[in-house]
A and B are shown apart, each in its own frame.
Chain A
Amino acid sequence: MQLTERHKEYWRRNMRMTAILLAIWFVVTYVVGFYARELNELVIFGFPFGFYMGAQGSLIIYVIMIFFYAIRMNKLDKEYDVAEGEG
């Protein structure tokens, strides 16, 4: 079937959101990981920051990101009329 302009726009917006979230994922994982030694100089409540990011911080961000993506995409489906029927 032929895709309409709206369909293409839906996909573009999906791609944009995917790219942004992927960038956050990259920074949280690899940039923070790369500078773990330097970030460890910063100590909060007894936690060296680089260590805490690896052990807990990054995980919390991953969970939030996935739920955020699910909620936004499920909304986007409705907005562009590509949501699954209620059946």
Chain B
Amino acid sequence: MATQTQAQFAQSLKKYYSIYAGGFIAFVILLAIAEQMGLTPKYIGYAFLFATIGLYAIIGIMSRTADVAEYYVAGRRVPAFFNGMATGADWMSAASFIGMAGGLYIQGYDGLAFIMGWTGGYVLVALFLAPYLRKFGQFTIPDFLGARYGGHTARSIGVFAAVLCSFTYVVAQIYGVGIITSRFTGIPFNIGVFVGLGGILVCSMLGGMRAVTWTQVAQYVILIIAYLLPVVWLSVQITHFPIPQLSYGYALEKVTEREKEITNNPKEIEVRNILKAKATDAEAKLKDPTAAYAADKATLEKKLADLKAANVAPDQIAATEKALAAFPKDVDAAKAQWTKEKGLAARAVPPRPHAEAFVGKDDAARNTSRLNFLALVFCLMVGTAALPHILMRYYTTPSVKEARQSVGWSLFFIFLLYFTAPSLAVLVKFDVYSHLVGSSFADLPRWVASWAAVDPTLVSIKDLNGDGIVQLAEIVLGQDIIVLATPEIAGLPYVVSGLVAAGGLAAALSTADGLLLTIANALSHDVYYKMIDPHASTKRRLTIAKMLLLLVAAIAATVAAQKPADILFLVSAAFSFAAASFFPALVLGIFWKRASSWGAVLGMAAGLGITFYYMATTQPWLRGLFGVTGSIADNTWFGISPISAGIFGVPLGFAVIIIVSLLTPAPDKKTQELIEHVRYPQLRGDIDTRAT
């Protein structure tokens, strides 16, 4: 009877979401018609912003709940297919949606570490975690650590690591929301942050996991339509085939040809030399900035005086006056400018061959590059398989069987976007290399001018050698522009740009929802209910959970509004932290009966500790924060970048757990039974660990 209801439930879900997807497409078509009739981009931006956030709010209000199991795990009746979609939205963040294709555009093969890392991790989730955690069937990941390793110590480390990983991540999502809303509607960044926050809170506050789940499914539908539509269109235009993932080989061949032409083109070399000269000049000035500053200023002033004395045309004088006015106010300002100019050296190089793996000047450099690539893939994969907000989603399926299938659906839905991103990067590169490069400055494509006006870090283009023709070395593209400008490059109407913005917003909001819930649940369930007041009433538990959610959200938004500097580094660091802290303890907890409480506690601490130590001694921003002296090179092991510090943390975590466990007594009979319990989907006469 119950299966019948579950099947009917899945059936009606399919019906509702089909109607919803149809309705959304109709909404986009209506807006497209309105655009033809003269609706301006600004209002299209508003329409998408308020319609989608309003929609999420309605789903959130409809899913409000006062039941603990509904609040924490959506009542454990989310069918595999829909949990897959929700996980997809939960997983794909603003960075995946807006930034990833751009990263691939800039880094070529080396950027694929993110593509492989953020998908291959699901193999680990499927093989080692999801089915077993589902059988365990409680509410949070620290719950498992608490039950398996007994006592509050393991649980507390779990809570600490969960909050550490999720908080930096959620700040980045809220930051992304602010950026997207301000770009597309002109709302100031700080207000955009709080508009987004409102969107996040209406979902998660009222209905917890239940509301977040059903909103995430809706968000997935929007984000995948928004991502695929412009790419497929662009692919049809460039390769005459609507499946870009199969047909972009043609564009890649052309890009490779153009790379060679651009490398040897005399005009390109000229621009690269101009950039190099500027960089060298700035470097020289930086050696003695005070003298250089005085000399430069004197030269300009003398020139102005000479011109005035010579009585030349007023426009020449005005130009020099302008140059003098733009001259840095003091030595510090000049230093900042010169440091920036010194950085131009990075642009003074020929284009990087897109498909070439592990670029380096010699074999040693290439080997280090390869080692870092593989290490990063490892950290991202293991981190994916250890991030609590993802693992938590597998508590929500109705059975172990569906949990297994659900990992497959999750990766399938993630895969749709991830295996499209590399083709998008190449198609845009094809367009830039063959149309933008070599075109005339008088006749730039519209997307260049319009995005440069919105945000100069997205596109900036300057005729450095004054020949009126665009050279590749004269173009600076920000990472985000690739996805943002695709609709315009493909010649689609503005409504599609609005759709892309709505997709990016959906990606950021859905991930933020999942993360906020993870943090608030770790605090309300693990800290408050399990450790402080185990007798709290249901009503009280939910009130505390919701209050904490509000508090965490407010803190995250406040941090995001400060525009913290190394936010991207922190997000990537979260993967290394999650990998080093959770993965060894979770996996050994399931697969090795001998793993003891002390082993797990010390293993998690050691893994987290060494990861943190390595980052603190090799990452410039953290070094500054902790006052680390001594050169970076001395602290670097095997040339590994700080972002991949988990490569040391994970093996150490495993080793410490194994060694300490062997030195301490084996876990008691109750724990042994728990392990047997999670290993079998059903055992007759077994214990029951399900939480209520």
**A contact set with B: CB distance below 8 Å:** 1, 3, 7, 10-11, 14, 18, 21-22, 25, 28-30, 33-34, 36-37, 40, 44-48, 50-52, 54-56, 58-60, 62-63, 65-67, 69-70, 73-74, 77, 82-87
Contacts and interface: CB of A to CB of B under 8 A. Distances in A.
A21 B404 contact: no
A5 to B, nearest CB: 14
Contacts of A84: 399-401, 681-682
Contacts of A11: 679-680
B400 A70 contact: no
A34 B403 CA distance: 33
A87 B3 contact: yes
Interface string B389-422: 0000000000111001101100110010011001
Contacts of A55: 112, 115, 419, 422-423
A74 B404 contact: yes
Contacts of A25: 120, 123-124
Contact of A69 (B3, B404, B684): B404
Contacts of A74: 401, 404-405
A36 B249 contact: no
Interface in B435-475: none
Nearest to A37: B357
A41 B545 CA distance: 56
Contact of B673 (A1, A50, A67): A1
Nearest to B370: A34
Given A83-B401, A84-B401, A40 B116 contact: no
B680 A69 contact: no
A45 B358 CA distance: 22
Contacts of B685: 1
Nearest to B104: A55
Interface string B232-254: 00000000000001100110110
A65 B122 CA distance: 10
A59 B115 CA distance: 8
24 contacts: A25-B123, A28-B120, A29-B377, A30-B374, A30-B377, A33-B370, A36-B358, A44-B249, A45-B249, A46-B249, A47-B252, A51-B109, A59-B119, A59-B418, A62-B415, A63-B412, A66-B126, A67-B405, A69-B126, A69-B127, A77-B401, A77-B682, A83-B401, A84-B399
Contacts of B3: 86-87
Nearest to A38: B357
A65 B123 contact: yes
Interface residues of B, number: 56
Interface in B635-692: 673, 676, 679-686
Interface in B329-349: none
A23 B679 CA distance: 21
Interface in B98-128: 109, 112, 115-116, 119-120, 122-124, 126-128
Nearest to B239: A46
B407 A66 contact: yes
Given A21-B127, A29-B120, A56-B419, A82 B683 contact: yes
Consensus secondary structure, chain A interface = helix
Contacts of B356: 37, 40
Given A66-B408, A70-B126, A86-B3, 17 more contacts: A1-B683, A36-B357, A37-B366, A40-B355, A48-B252, A52-B249, A59-B115, A63-B408, A65-B126, A66-B126, A67-B408, A70-B401, A73-B131, A74-B404, A77-B682, A83-B401, A87-B2
Which of A37, A44, A55 has the most C-beta atoms of chain B within 10 angstroms of its own C-beta? A55
Contacts of A10: 680
B220 interface: no
B169 interface: no
Contacts of B404: 69-70, 73-74
A67 to B, nearest CB: 4
Contacts of A54: 109, 112, 115-116, 357
Contacts of A3: 676, 683
Contact of A34 (B128, B374, B423): B374
Interface string B275-313: 000000000000000000000000000000000000000
Contacts of B412: 63, 67
B250 A46 contact: yes
Interface string B348-384: 0000000111100000001000100110011001000
A74 B405 CA distance: 9
Given A69-B404, A74-B401, A50 B357 contact: yes
B127 A46 contact: no
A86 B131 CA distance: 17
B610 to A, nearest CB: 22
A84 B419 CA distance: 35
Nearest to B679: A11
Nearest to A32: B116
A62 B123 CA distance: 6
A55 B104 CA distance: 10
Contacts of B686: 1
A33 B377 contact: yes
Nearest to B112: A54
Contact of A51 (B120, B357, B407, B680): B357
Contacts of B246: 45
A31 to B, nearest CB: 10
Nearest to A10: B680
Contacts of A47: 249, 252, 355
A59 B415 contact: yes
Interface string B537-553: 00000000000000000
Contacts of B373: 33
A66 B116 contact: no
B437 to A, nearest CB: 20
A7 to B, nearest CB: 7
Nearest to A82: B680
Top-9 shortest CB links A-B: A46-B249, A55-B422, A36-B357, A70-B404, A54-B112, A51-B355, A67-B408, A46-B253, A66-B408
A27 to B, nearest CB: 12
